[in-house]
């Protein structure tokens, strides 16, 4: 892995290699809107690229990797490392003209086990990316930038009980996130808003995501989120078997299906809302309940075994009062509906890689 990342860094430093040019004959200047999606090889980024393209945008993606599970929908894709400021500038320019909009989703991140065990790596990599993208936007005159923050910015003190977590946007200060990942997200929010205030070049919009899930996301390897991890465990388990959950399973979370996340991103980006907004579901469940929903979808009869492991805060749930007020919108899909689609997709991935579990 280290060798691969080192090779990619060297490659991007030398020439920011362009790939994925299935639409290379399409001229960017023929489109009314041109967008750059940073992190376009990732889960949310790849879905966002598809939506923007379907709405008539010319879209460039940039990432260390292409999407893992499907071909990119981007008209143009740069394999490059955004920790390198030259890559950021190259990605932002079409000829000598900047893109109209930047969607900055690139980050070093993963599931709860990953983000609690790689503090220095996360801080180093994500801060570099955001400093570089903020400066490239200012220097090259980008009109509008979206930044994907996280519910992890909220203070640990407000999330100590599973039944009544406090995650209103205004509760972020006094700041006390429970992870360095959360601190980095909060710092980068301030970074982008400081650039907006001082330089008056790029308009910034910020969303705090709450546990986005869906098909074509990472489902194994340590960077996967809880819904994908549990779908994988259930898909691998034989009927009558056991799946393991970290902790007592009473910790609470809410989870938002990726299509609604993308809708929220675009509504916020096109609005005049200049404060961070939660983009998440208010349908809070325990991890035990989440696991049982997935088990029921599978049609198997499985037992849940609780084992020691990282749990994070005891409770977290999106507070959608402000997003309803500011955007006259909020997510409406049910958790179970998204889990049905996600489980079926992960079940197929598991079967392709490991063979189908015995019924």
Query: Could you tell me if 72 and 41 are in contact, meaning their C-beta atoms sit under 8 angstroms apart?
Result: yes
Kindly state the average pLDDT of the residues 128-134.
98
Residues 308-335 have pLDDT tens digits of 988 889 999 999 999 999 999 999 999 9
Could you confirm whether 103 is annotated as catalytic?
A: no
Separation CA 179–CA 153 (nearest Å): 8
The residue ranking higher by pLDDT, 118 or 24, is 118
Domains parsed from the chain with CATH numbers: 2-212+257-279 (3.40.50.720)
Cβ count within 10 A of residue 259:
17
- Angle of CA points 338, 342, 344, to nearest 5°: 120
Per-residue pLDDT at 24 exceeds 60: no
What pLDDT sits at residue 25? 66
Global confidence as pTM: 0.91
Q: Of 198, 209, 186, 329, nearest to 270 (Cα)?
A: 329
> Of the residues 147, 154, 181, 192, which is catalytic?
181
What pLDDT sits at residue 9? 45
- What is the number of residues in the chain? 359
Residues 236-275 have pLDDT tens digits of 999 999 999 999 999 999 999 999 999 999 999 999 999 9
What pLDDT sits at residue 115? 81
Separation CA 301–CA 299 (nearest Å): 7
Token duo for residue 133:
């993208």
**Helices and strands (H, E) in the chain, number of each type:** 11, 16
Separation CA 232–CA 217 (nearest Å): 12
What pLDDT sits at residue 21? 44
Per-residue pLDDT at 103 exceeds 60: yes
Q: H helices of 200-334, where?
A: 226-236, 258-269, 287-298, 321-327
For residue 94, how far is the Cα from the chain centroid? 26
Confidence grade of residue 352 (pLDDT, cut at 50, 70, 90): very high
Q: What percent of the chain has pLDDT over 70?
A: 92
Separation CA 249–CA 259 (nearest Å): 27
Per-residue pLDDT at 10 exceeds 70: no
């Amino acid at each position: 892995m280290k060798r691969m990342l080192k090779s990619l860094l060297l490659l991007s430093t030398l020439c920011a290699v362009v790939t994925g040019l299935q639409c290379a004959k399409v001229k960017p200047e023929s489109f009314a809107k041109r967008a750059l999606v940073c992190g376009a090889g990732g889960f949310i980024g790849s879905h966002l690229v598809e939506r923007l393209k379907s709405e008539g945008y010319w879209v460039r993606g940039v990432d260390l990797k292409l999407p893992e599970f499907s071909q990119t929908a981007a008209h143009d894709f740069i394999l490059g490392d955004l920790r390198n400021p030259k890559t950021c500038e190259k990605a932002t320019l079409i000829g000598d003209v900047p893109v109209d909009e930047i969607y900055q989703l690139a980050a070093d991140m993963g599931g709860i086990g990953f983000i609690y065990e790689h503090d220095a790596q996360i801080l180093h990599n994500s801060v570099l990316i955001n400093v570089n993208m903020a400066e490239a936007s200012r220097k090259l005159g980008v009109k509008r930038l979206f930044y994907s923050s996280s519910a992890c910015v909220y203070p640990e003190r407000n999330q100590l009980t599973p039944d009544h977590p406090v995650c209103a946007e205004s509760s972020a200060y006094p700041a006390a996130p429970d992870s360095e990942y959360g601190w980095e997200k909060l710092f980068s929010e301030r970074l982008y808003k400081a650039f907006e205030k001082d330089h008056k070049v790029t308009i910034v919009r910020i969303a705090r995501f709450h546990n986005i899930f869906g098909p074509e996301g990472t489902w194994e390897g340590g960077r996967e989120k809880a819904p994908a991890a549990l779908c994988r465990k259930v898909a691998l388990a034989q009927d009558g078997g056991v799946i393991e959950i970290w902790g007592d399973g009473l910790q609470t979370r809410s989870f938002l299906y990726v299509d609604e996340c993308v809708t929220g991103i675009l509504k916020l980006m096109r609005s005049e809302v200049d404060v961070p907004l939660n983009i998440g579901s208010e349908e809070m469940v325990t991890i035990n309940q989440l696991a049982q929903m997935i088990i029921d979808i599978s049609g198997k009869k499985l037992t849940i075994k609780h084992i020691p492991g990282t749990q994070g805060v005891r409770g977290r749930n999106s507070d959608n009062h402000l997003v309803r007020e500011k955007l006259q919108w909020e997510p409406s899909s049910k958790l179970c509906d998204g889990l049905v689609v996600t489980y079926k997709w992960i079940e197929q991935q598991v079967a392709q890689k490991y063979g189908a579990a015995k019924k």
